Amino acid sequence: MKTILFALRVSDLERSLAFYAAVGYVELNTVPFEDGSSLVWLRLPGETSVSLELVHRPADGPVTAGGFEHIAIEVESLTDTTARLTRAGLQPGEPLIHGDDGPKTSWLTDPDGYRIELVEWPPTGAPTFD
């Protein structure tokens, strides 16, 4: 068993697609529905399949984010990633360093208020649980 994707409902599909493209996601496919709703499947360049689904239901009105904490994205270099995102017009938070052997993190908020944690693991790698 494994997790295959997260689905987020978005208020403005084009605005969200531009945001997630700036983060680094690549659009794989769009599934339109007769009522004007659609699903858009995205993945990051290093992933082999869809990992994020944007759900757009215009008839449901704007999204109010709540009850959902965040998604996390592993990055190779937090410094390089936050610089690239800033150049793309996004506003990542100041990097946080969690101890000498801990990860470095930064936060980003999408147009609907969903939070994204950017994580650079230390040279020893991500923690494992057996």
Which pLDDT score, from 0 to 100, does residue 129 have? 75
pLDDT for res 130? 67
E strands present in 22-113: 26-32, 38-43, 52-56, 70-74, 96-97, 104-109
| pLDDT for the residue 68 | 84
pTM for this prediction: 0.89
Q: Is the dihedral of CA 97, 65, 126, 91 positive or negative?
A: negative
Q: What percent of the chain has pLDDT over 70?
A: 99
Kindly list the domain boundaries of the chain, sorted by start residue. Answer: 1-58, 69-130
Mean residue pLDDT of the chain comes to 93
CATH topology of domain 69-130: 2,3-Dihydroxybiphenyl 1,2-Dioxygenase; domain 1 (3.10.180)
The pLDDT assigned to 126 comes to 80
Beta strand 38-43 pairing with 26-32: antiparallel
Q: What is the pLDDT of residue 128?
A: 75
Of the pLDDT bands very low, low, confident and very high (cuts 50, 70, 90), residue 61 is: very high
Predicted local distance difference test score (pLDDT) of residue 67? 84
